[in-house]
Structure 1
Amino acid sequence: MALVAAATAAPSLHNAQPWRFRHHPADATLEVRADFERAMPHTDPDNRALYLGCGAALFNLRVAAADSGLHTGTRLLPDPADRELLAVVQLDDSERPDRELATLFPGIARRHTSRHPFQEKPVPAAVQDALCDAALREGAQLAFPEAWHVESLLEHVRDVEGRDSLHPEGREDIERWTRTGAESAGTAVDGIPEDAFGPRKQRGRAPVRDFAGRRAVPGRPAAVFETVPHLALLGTRNDHPADWLRAGQALERVLLLATLDGLATSLTSHALEQADLRELARDPRSAMGFVHMVLRLGYGPAGTGTPRRPVHDVLEID
């Protein structure tokens, strides 16, 4: 189904794609379900990132439905007894679709995480305002931190990188979800292949996680990244699973709009994977109570596409 194919193009932590879908033709609904077998106990112990990824997939589904002329109604977490059921989307061809959502559809195929250097060029204020408005439309907040806050965030990234070296078990999730050598040669359907690692950071302060770690990747170049990266924080006032799903939808709405505006985008949750650092990530003067993702935005090379699971692997039809 085309709607599910669009949904699966969403970003997720380490491209684990922790979602499943169930279609009920009789009542024209699509369920978005969590695939907890793809959870990450070290990196994402509370499943926050899993919910964010599924929220992003839910948003893509809504966009694709609007592009197909369908109106959608969404219920989040409709059944407390069914832990895997995250959302139910009602598809309706009798009402007018959301044309604003439909305009974002071309961005689904074009959006890829870019782990390349960006230009030292500011993002125009008008573009920033539009991206902030996009997040608000999905019940979340996007904020562009001041210089002092960016310095603090970069210090948190350096801190967590040091912690990683002291606790190598934390790399188990990365090793599970990265594909190198023959494993990345067109056969993988999930995870991050080596051609999407991006160049090794020679200099610069952009918060780009090195998925190669200590593994040698033949032919991988080194590059100088930006000195002053342009970061944005995405968060919500509260911190419950429904808020994570809203944040995931807001994240994808922001990413699609940024892509269509000509921006390259990158995501990092590295410093948010530690509870103490996540609490320090927010601006104490902001109404944003909880930060869920740090976005890096700028002008530079588009990212490399990553593999996706076939629709028949993730879709069940009743």
Structure 2
Amino acid sequence: MPAHAAPETNPVTSWVADAVMAPSMHNAQPWTFRYRPADGVLLLSADPARALPHSDPSGRGTHLGCGAALFTLRVAAAHAGWEASARLLPDATAPGTLAAVTFTRSGAAGDGTAELYPGIARRRTSRQPFRDEAVPAPVLEGLRAAARREGARLDVADQQRLNDLAELQWDAEHAERDAPRLRAELARWTAGQEQEATEGIPAGALGPRARDGRSAVRDFAPGGDDGVRETAVFERTPCLAVLGTREDTPADWLRAGQALQRVLLRATLDGLSTSLNSQALEWPELRWMARDPRSPAGYPQILLRLGYGPQSPATPRRPVSEVLDIV
């Protein structure tokens, strides 16, 4: 098969099925795909029906999620012997089109992308307590390298930064309580999600409440003990890292999403549990305060919690038939 030949629809469909396993804000899955077999171009677009106008008015979170899906697609294609090359924001007149992907036949990729494939199905967002066990320095350095490979930076918080980030999360939780429209938006994606749902965060994935109020995990059902969810003590000194970029354009958000997924897949294969938290970064004034003045990455994009903990259940995903069009 010539290197420039377009892949058939079946493998592309399979790669999209892997791509939608990526994480997204509130598991809204804000992506759509459109494949043109005639020229072998796969378009990735933001789904406006899945926008979060109160939690994510700029669309930054949507771009992060779509970037994560784009990187997962790259991994799936590489695993099958194809190189997926993405042109970000290919049409200035269509800002909703986030990437145009083309494919070429390749041998074994030398950048480690294909080897991440087993992590796609295994990756979970865990809102359970982790063990008080330090993540080894070589593992953390591997995650930093993964972020750098995609043009981002992963800064692991020291004790002072941990204190600062905890205060910012506390401020965000209180600001959220005074924002009824934002709370209603959260409820749409979390409250009452049934087992057969294909989107949102089901009750079984919310995790326990922090028994002593100390947790780096976002509580998606705040407001005190509801008598249903269990309580637990979370790690006293969590391993937190901020993924950031030098600039803050939509293209940077897409790169950050790709970096995020590379980090998460690498962490999964390294035996780590991971969770994401954007709560403080959803408030512009708090996001600005979340910057580390010592880091060249001046724009925080997402907060990661890393550690060793129990396996979490998978969150639901929409079927590929709902997100992919073949034209």
Q: Distance in 1 between matches of 2:28 and 2:202?
A: 12
Pair 1:159 & 2:168 matched? no
Pair 1:45 & 2:62 matched? no
- Gapped regions of structure 2 (runs ≥ 5): 1-12
SS at match of 1:103: helix
Q: Distance in 2 between matches of 1:279 and 1:97?
A: 41
Q: Distance in 2 between matches of 1:235 and 1:265?
A: 17
Pair 1:150 & 2:168 matched? no
Q: CA deviation at 1:97?
A: 4.7
SS at match of 2:254: helix
Q: Is the 8 A contact 2:177 2:183 kept in 1?
A: no
The aligned counterpart of 1:203 is: 212
Q: Distance in 2 between matches of 1:189 and 1:124?
A: 36
Q: Distance in 2 between matches of 1:25 and 1:200?
A: 48
The aligned counterpart of 1:184 is: 194
User: TM-score when scaled to structure 1?
Assistant: 0.95
The aligned counterpart of 1:114 is: 126
The aligned counterpart of 1:96 is: 107
Q: CA deviation at 1:170?
A: 1.8
Q: 1:49-60 maps to which residues of 2 (within 5 A)?
A: 49-60=61-72
Q: Is the 8 A contact 2:30 2:65 kept in 1?
A: yes
Residues 134-143 or 219-228, more deviating: 219-228
Pair 1:313 & 2:325 matched? no
Q: Distance in 1 between matches of 2:320 and 2:255?
A: 24
The equivalent position to 1:229 in structure 2, one of 208, 215, 238, is 238
Q: CA deviation at 1:168?
A: 2.5
User: TM-score when scaled to structure 2?
Assistant: 0.93
SS at match of 1:80: coil
The aligned counterpart of 2:45 is: 33
- Gapped regions of structure 1 (runs ≥ 5): none
Identity between Structure 1 and Structure 2 (%): 53
The equivalent position to 1:304 in structure 2, one of 313, 319, 323, is 313
The aligned counterpart of 1:141 is: 153
Deviations 1:195-230 (A, max 9, x none): 111112112632211222349867521111111111
Q: Is the 8 A contact 1:139 1:247 kept in 2?
A: yes
The aligned counterpart of 1:10 is: 22
Pair 1:283 & 2:292 matched? yes
The aligned counterpart of 1:295 is: 304
Q: Distance in 2 between matches of 1:215 and 1:162?
A: 13
The aligned counterpart of 2:186 is: 174
| Shift in CA distance, 85/45, structure 1 to aligned 2, threshold 3 Å | same
Q: Distance in 1 between matches of 2:214 and 2:272?
A: 19
Q: Is the 8 A contact 1:28 1:90 kept in 2?
A: yes
Q: Is the 8 A contact 1:205 1:229 kept in 2?
A: no
Q: CA deviation at 1:86?
A: 0.3
